[in-house]
Chain A
Amino acid sequence: MDYSRVIGLDIQKEVLDLLDNVLSLKGRALVFGADTPLLGSIPELDSMAVVSVITAIEERFGVEIPDDEIDGAAFATVGSLVEFVQRISSC
């Protein structure tokens, strides 16, 4: 069994749950896939919401995200955000 894929799926589920809560999407995020675009597609994702998402990631995954690690590329799609969280969590 490819354990990294299993862990990746769990992180995606956590990230979608987090997005749904922080952005008050009322369950809409729970059916997003890795290819679902975020930045530019979700109007709720403004500068304040971005910071709320980052803070929530820090608190849920117990990581500290340095400011210079954060850029638009991480928020392009669900998949890129999950990769970002995986990378940060394994540091």
Chain B
Amino acid sequence: MRPRAQSFYLDAGGRSLHCVFYKAVGTAKKGAVLYVPPFAEELNKSRRMVALQARVLAEVGWSVLLLDLTGCGDSSGDFSEAGWNAWLDDIAQARTWLRDNCPGPLWLWGLRLGATLAGASLQRDPASDANLLLWQPVISARQHLQQFLRIRGAGERVANGGEGAGTDTLLDQLRAGRNVEVAGYDLPPGLALPMTEASLHIDGAAKRVFWIEISTRPESGLSPASRRFIEANPLPEGEARVVGGPAFWQTQEIEELPQLLAATTEVFCQ
């Protein structure tokens, strides 16, 4: 029987979080997986691949909760109400729901900035039996933010011949307490400023950490930045690998990656 997606809203201190739940099929329920999504447009582009993966995990006995963070997707609030700490609260709420409804070990599965958030969640709110699955993790949230802000600057300048506002100007505006509009997103300081300080943290918080990178040239191995991070922060009881495929969180067309599905499912069947 194919796992069905159940949609519901979770209350988080007055905010309403949209969740999609794939309940594990079969009698052997192995545990729960909480998915933390990526930032801005990457959320939309990656939905299909994530839904496919969630379904496969449910088929092999893991219940999966796909969470929309405050201000994103179908959750309450618009983007200007998003915030780094608010998002950590959202994740905490979803973890509580899973703890109450799906016994067994917990995996936090994050894609891109969602991976950074997953690590931050385990740092802020430790758990005794939690693991991390990181898909193409963002190591520096600051760099991630700067790449996003560039859309207003360099992006505008090149594509539309406009002036564009420099990244430094936009950061000054945020520090002065003002939102900044980028590619249709009303970015608030409560989200942007913590991002300038946040980075991937995995030390001590998770029992096992699996890192999967996606590359169109997997034979080149992990990116230099990833290699440097892992050398400095060895993964507890886990591994890092690269699978072949396009960067589905940013490609123009929606892509499916069978190699990624296989590699991820393997982690959950160990």
Contact = CB atoms under 8 A, between A and B. Distances in A.
A54 interface: yes
A71 B147 CA distance: 16
Given A47-B159, A51-B155, A71-B158, A24 B167 contact: no
Contacts, number: 65
Interface string A8-43: 000000000100011110000000000000010000
Interface residues of A, number: 26
B77 interface: no
Given A21-B216, A24-B251, A55-B147, A45 B159 contact: yes
A51 B151 contact: yes
A72 B158 contact: yes
B187 to A, nearest CB: 14
A47 B251 contact: no
B252 A51 contact: no
A21 B246 contact: yes
A21 B246 CA distance: 7
Interface string B155-180: 11111110000110000000000000
B131 to A, nearest CB: 27
A23 B147 CA distance: 17
Interface in A43-76: 44-52, 54-55, 59, 62, 67-68, 70-72, 74-75
Nearest to A43: B252
B150 interface: yes
A51 B153 CA distance: 9
B260 to A, nearest CB: 15
Interface string B237-252: 0000000001100111
Contacts of A23: 252
B7 interface: no
A70 B247 contact: no
A47 B167 contact: no
A23 B252 CA distance: 6
B141 to A, nearest CB: 15
Nearest to B216: A21
Contacts of A51: 147, 150-151, 154-155
A67 B153 contact: yes
Contacts of A68: 166
B41 interface: yes
Contacts of B230: none
B158 A47 contact: yes
Contacts of A59: 223, 225
18 contacts: A22-B247, A22-B251, A24-B253, A39-B159, A44-B252, A47-B156, A47-B159, A47-B160, A48-B155, A50-B154, A50-B155, A50-B159, A51-B150, A51-B151, A51-B155, A55-B147, A70-B157, A72-B158
Interface of B: 41, 147, 150-151, 153-161, 166-167, 183, 216, 223-225, 246-247, 250-253, 255
Give the 8 A-B CB pairs with smallest separation, nearest first.
A47-B155, A24-B252, A70-B154, A47-B159, A24-B253, A51-B155, A50-B158, A50-B155
Given A50-B154, A71-B157, 16 more contacts: A22-B250, A24-B246, A24-B253, A24-B255, A39-B159, A47-B151, A48-B41, A50-B155, A50-B159, A51-B147, A51-B155, A52-B250, A54-B154, A55-B147, A68-B166, A72-B157
